[in-house]
């Protein structure tokens, strides 16, 4: 037993030394410290590993070190025979590290074209994939920086256009997802399979969100009747995205459905949902005029009125839906549009809903009334400039109703330090529940 422990101790110490040396080499490579790197490599070997499995070449090739003038460091490592296809614990190779990218509102950083070419010229595997399945081509395809020459170089050097990630996505799907038509065209021209499906069954056409890319994909005669794991076709996805014209185009091109009119009605309803959520009131009116249902519900069960009321700047959409006959008291988990409008403290929406018969005494699943929702609203500071409390009370809200925790609206306003609301409630005769 002591001998075995001694052996284990020696192995552990050896691993710790190797990891320590590997980490030190990575730091030297990242800092462009060629002198230190040469000394460490002489002692530990050019491919010593850090704690995360990185070699000095992986660290030096990383796009993040571009400003460190990594060229001489990388050339030294390559000249000394560093493994150009070494992998860290995440499966990342020097080539993959050189193609990492980032984007902020101030700067977009693409892959390091020169570094990638240098590594490939020394035998880097252009089709190596990390543990998530990212290949070099996928990384360049999915980045925000446009690098068409690098994409062309990778394909010319044998990059597999139809390689898949662990989730089944291909480079074509990645290009479609970020709406890069030029990359979609390039990949299609170089053999990308238009009918490939990811792990959820989605094709590139199902992902497409722009008419230009849809046209590029349709030109390759895709199978329009493929379905994902939810049983949805590309036309279904277009309809659910509110893209009525695109959904209609896919029907006209050959998508098979049982009832065209029923499909188009559902597509109009989804288009209305998107216009109410983040679109234009006039377009919403036009869809309603075409027969879209003002009482349609989103997949999460919310009514269109609830969605409109949940936007502090959409009182006009609330009125559009009410004018079209939306059910003012339709609820979801006992939440009503009036409660949602009170949460947002939009007096205009509240007045419109009350004017159409919204119930001011309705309570949610916790017993909280509309007045309590107003008292708890983070926007209740507007009570002085846009009074809501008096409006609700005038229409019959019970000022002293209690919720399931025996709290009144005044209790809630006091607890949350909503002073303006609390004062308005006191003036109306509100009392605490204690």
**Which residues, at least 6 apart from 215, have a Cβ–Cβ distance to it below 8 Å?**
none
Tokens of 344: 């947002």
Kindly indicate the confidence band of residue 2, based on its pLDDT and cuts at 50, 70 and 90.
low
Give the Cα separation of 38 and 412 in Å (integer): 68
Under the banding of pLDDT at 50, 70 and 90, the label for residue 20 is confident
Q: Where are the chain's structural domains? A: 8-124, 231-293, 304-434
Alpha helix (H) residue ranges in 178-331:
181-189, 204-207, 211-218, 234-240, 244-252, 260-278, 281-289, 304-309, 315-323
Say what the pLDDT of residue 113 is: 93
Q: Is residue 41 predicted with pLDDT exceeding 50?
A: yes
Instruction: List the CATH code of the domain at 8-124.
Output: 1.25.40.20
- Please indicate whether the domains covering 8-124 and 304-434 agree at the CATH topology level: yes
247 vs 10, more confident: 247
* Average pLDDT for 349-367: 96
Phi, psi of 303 (to 5 degrees): -80, 165
pLDDT computed for residue 18 by the predictor: 46
Assess contact for 356 and 324: CB atoms under 8 A: no
| pLDDT for the residue 209 | 92
> Taking 90 as the threshold, does the pLDDT of residue 238 lie above it?
yes
Q: Say which DSSP state 383 is in.
A: G
φ, ψ of residue 102 to 5 degrees: the values are: -150, 160
Enumerate the β-bridge partners of residue 15. none
Which structure tokens are listed for 80?
């000394």
Mean pLDDT calculated for residue range 298-310:
96
Q: Which two tokens stand for residue 320?
A: 């559009």
* Residue 416 predicted with pLDDT over 80: yes
Predicted confidence (pLDDT) per residue in 90-125, tens digit: 999 999 999 987 666 667 788 899 999 999 999 999
* Res. 69 pLDDT band, cuts 50 70 90: low
Residue 6 has pLDDT above 70, yes or no: no
Q: What CA–CA distances, in Å, run from 274 to 288, 305, 329, 340?
A: 13, 13, 21, 18
Neighbour tally for 325: CB within 10 Å: 12
Q: Any idea of the CA torsion for 227, 233, 234, 238, to the nearest 10 degrees? A: -140
pLDDT value for 80:
96
- The H or E element that residue 60 is part of is helix 56-61
The confidence band for 63, taking pLDDT boundaries of 50, 70 and 90, is: low
Confidence check: pLDDT of 5 > 60: no
The CA angle 308-313-318, to the nearest 5 degrees, is: 35
Averaged over 252-262, what is the pLDDT?
Answer: 95
Is 44's pLDDT higher than 80?
yes
At 19 the pLDDT is 60
Do 281 and 320 form a contact (C-beta atoms < 8 A)? Answer: yes
Q: From CA 61, how far away is CA 80, in angstroms rounded?
A: 15
Distance of CA 270 to the CA centre of its chain: 20
pLDDT of amino acid 65: 53
CATH code linked to domain 304-434:
1.25.40.20
Task: Please tell me the pTM assigned to this model.
Answer: 0.84
Statement: residue 199 has pLDDT above 70 = yes
Phi, psi torsion values for 297, nearest 5 degrees = -115, 145
Q: In which band, very low, low, confident or very high, does the pLDDT at 16 lie, cut at 50, 70 and 90? A: very low
| H or E segment to which residue 370 belongs | helix 370-376
Give residue for tokens 């002692």. Answer: 43
Distances (CA, A) of 432 to 174, 372, 391, 399: 57, 12, 20, 10
25: Cα within 13 Å, side-chain hemisphere: 32
At residue 12, the pLDDT reads: 39
Question: 297-301 — which CB contacts under 8 Å span 24+ positions?
Answer: 297/332, 298/273, 300/332, 301/332, 301/333
Contact 99, 69 (CB under 8 A): no
């Amino acid at each position: 037993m002591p001998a075995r422990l001694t052996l284990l101790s020696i192995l552990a110490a050896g691993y710790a030394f190797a990891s320590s040396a590997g980490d030190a080499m990575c730091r030297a490579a990242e800092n462009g410290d060629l002198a230190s790197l040469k000394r460490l490599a002489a002692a530990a070997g050019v491919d010593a590993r850090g704690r995360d499995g990185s070699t000095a070449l992986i660290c030096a090739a990383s796009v993040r070190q571009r400003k460190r003038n990594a060229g001489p460091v990388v050339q030294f490592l390559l000249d000394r025979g560093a493994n150009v296809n070494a992998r860290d614990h995440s499966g990342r190779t020097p080539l993959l590290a050189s193609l990492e990218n980032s984007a902020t509102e101030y700067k977009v950083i693409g892959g390091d074209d020169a570094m990638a070419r240098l590594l490939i010229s020394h035998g880097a595997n252009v089709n190596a994939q990390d543990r998530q399945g990212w290949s070099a081509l996928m990384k360049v395809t999915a980045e925000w920086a446009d690098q068409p020459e690098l994409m062309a170089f990778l394909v010319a050097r044998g990059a597999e256009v139809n390689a898949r990630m662990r989730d089944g996505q291909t480079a074509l799907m990645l290009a479609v997802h970020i709406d890069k038509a030029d990359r979609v065209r390039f990949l299609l021209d170089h053999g990308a399979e238009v009918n490939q499906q990811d792990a959820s069954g989605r094709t590139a056409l199902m992902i497409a969100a722009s008419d230009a890319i849809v046209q590029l994909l349709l030109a390759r005669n895709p199978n329009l009747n493929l379905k994902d794991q939810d049983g949805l076709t590309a036309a279904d996805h277009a309809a659910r995205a509110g893209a009525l014209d695109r959904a209609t185009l896919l029907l006209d091109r050959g998508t098979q459905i049982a009832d065209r009119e029923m499909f188009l009605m559902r597509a109009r309803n989804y288009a209305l949902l998107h216009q109410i959520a983040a679109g234009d009131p006039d377009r919403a009116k036009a869809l309603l005029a075409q027969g879209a249902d003002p009482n349609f519900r989103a997949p999460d069960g919310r009514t269109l009125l609830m969605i409109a009321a949940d936007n502090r700047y959409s009182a006009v959409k609330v009125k559009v839906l009410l004018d079209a006959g939306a059910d003012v008291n339709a609820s979801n988990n006992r939440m009503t549009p009036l409660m949602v409008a009170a949460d947002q403290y939009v007096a205009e929406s509240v007045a419109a809903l009350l004017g159409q018969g919204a119930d001011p005494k309705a309570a949610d699943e916790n017993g909280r009334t509309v007045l309590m929702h107003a008292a708890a609203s983070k926007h209740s500071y507007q009570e002085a400039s846009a009074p809501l409390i008096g409006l609700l009370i005038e229409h019959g809200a019970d000022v002293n109703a209690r919720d399931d925790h025996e709290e009144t609206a005044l209790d809630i306003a006091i607890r949350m330090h909503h002073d303006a609301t609390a004062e308005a409630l006191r003036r109306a005769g509100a009392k605490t529940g204690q």
